[in-house]
């Protein structure tokens, strides 16, 4: 493999074996919480404390979690091919960076970030955020987690599409293929000539768009796939 550009889309499934719940699996986060209440701007306006409680709990869980063999394998892949591997993650947990990945785009934001809804200043989130927290720049009590909610524009989309267009290989790992625009990346990449691979516990909603698929736990399937790509 020389100068092959690889774009890897990850979802909640890659962090499941690190103890972080997925969204749509049985007992997933969306079985326990209403999306409208905790993951929309309208929900935040209606009850900011409830939304902060939700993300404060997820932040505490994420900080306590450690990367698993799947995150580590992706970091090895990048280390072997610097500049040729990009991870685009829908996850907000930070486990790719904890495993050593450097080229990571957080299209749905990150629990480690705070954002002022009034002046758009960003700063590192404290472990516990509260509706009364003032923005360090404009001093308004309008701080929110730096998370992309339903109805908002995901981050870095133009750059991500540029990378998808240039990709030789597109791999989706642990994502159910229900949330757009991420769910359409496989079609975008394929249209521009990338080979496409799904690595997931079970078939996603977009399985028919992939050229190839391997099913199993991320901690097993991802290291095996990386070993194949590296020829080790």
Marked catalytic residue, from 81, 108, 163, 195: 108
Degrees, nearest 5: CA angle 68-71-76: 120
Q: Is 150 in the site for ligand NAD (CB under 6 A)?
A: yes
Which alpha helices (DSSP H) does the chain contain, by range? 29-32, 35-38, 41-46, 48-64, 69-80, 95-99, 157-166, 185-191, 218-230
Least Å distance between CB 202 and ligand APR? Answer: 5
**Which residue in the shown chain puts its C-beta closest to ligand APR?**
13
SS3 70: helix
Degrees, nearest 5: CA angle 104-107-113: 85
- Closer Cβ to ligand APR, 197 or 218, answer by number: 218
Long-range contacts of 46-49 (CB under 8 A, 24+ apart): 48/131, 48/144, 49/130, 49/131
- Closer Cβ to ligand NAD, 154 or 174, answer by number: 154
Q: Which helix (H) or strand (E) holds 213?
A: strand 212-215
Q: Is 148 in the site for ligand NAD (CB under 6 A)?
A: yes
22 labeled binding residue? yes
- Closer Cβ to ligand NAD, 108 or 163, answer by number: 108
Overall size of the chain counted in residues: 232
Site string for ligand NAD, 50-79 (x = CB under 6 A): ------------------------------
Distances (CA, A) of 144 to 73, 106, 109, 114: 33, 17, 12, 6
Task: List the single partner that 154 binds among ligand NAD, ligand APR, none, CB under 5 to 8 Å by kind.
Answer: ligand NAD
Q: How many Cα neighbours within 13 Å face the side chain of 160?
A: 22
Q: Which residues bind ligand APR (CB under 6 A)?
A: 11-13, 16-17, 22-25, 28, 90, 108, 174-176, 178-179, 200-202, 204, 217-218
Task: List the single partner that 48 binds among ligand NAD, ligand APR, none, CB under 5 to 8 Å by kind.
Answer: none
Task: List the single partner that 131 binds among ligand NAD, ligand APR, none, CB under 5 to 8 Å by kind.
Answer: none
Burial class (CB in 10 A: 0-12, 13-18, 19+), 82: exposed
138 labeled binding residue? yes
The reply to whether 71 belongs to the active site is no
Q: How far apart are the first and last CA of the chain?
A: 12
Task: List the single partner that 200 binds among ligand NAD, ligand APR, none, CB under 5 to 8 Å by kind.
Answer: ligand APR
Annotated binding site for Zn(2+): 116, 119, 135, 138
Q: Which residues bind ligand NAD (CB under 6 A)?
A: 39, 92, 108, 147-154, 157, 179-181
């Amino acid at each position: 493999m020389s100068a092959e550009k690889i774009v890897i889309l990850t979802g909640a499934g890659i962090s499941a074996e690190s103890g972080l719940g997925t969204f749509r699996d049985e007992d997933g986060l969306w079985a326990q919480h209403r999306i409208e209440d905790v993951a929309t701007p309208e929900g935040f306006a209606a009850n900011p404390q409830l939304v902060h409680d939700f993300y404060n709990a997820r932040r505490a869980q994420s900080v306590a979690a450690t990367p698993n063999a799947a995150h580590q394998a992706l970091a090895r892949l990048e280390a072997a091919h610097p500049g040729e591997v990009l991870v685009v993650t829908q996850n907000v947990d930070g486990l790719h960076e904890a495993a050593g990945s450097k080229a990571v785009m957080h299209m749905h934001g990150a629990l480690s970030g705070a954002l002022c809804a009034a002046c758009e200043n960003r700063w590192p989130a404290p472990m516990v955020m509260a509706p009364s927290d003032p923005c360090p720049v404009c001093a308004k009590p309008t701080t929110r987690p730096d998370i992309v909610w339903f109805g908002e524009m995901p981050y870095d989309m133009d750059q991500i599409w540029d990378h998808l267009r240039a990709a030789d290989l597109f791999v989706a790992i642990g994502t159910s293929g229900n949330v757009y625009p991420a769910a359409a990346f496989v079609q975008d990449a394929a249209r521009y000539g990338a080979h496409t691979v799904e690595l997931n516990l079970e078939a996603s909603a977009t399985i028919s768009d992939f050229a190839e698929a391997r099913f199993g736990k991320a901690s097993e399937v991802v290291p095996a796939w990386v070993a194949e790509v590296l020829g080790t």
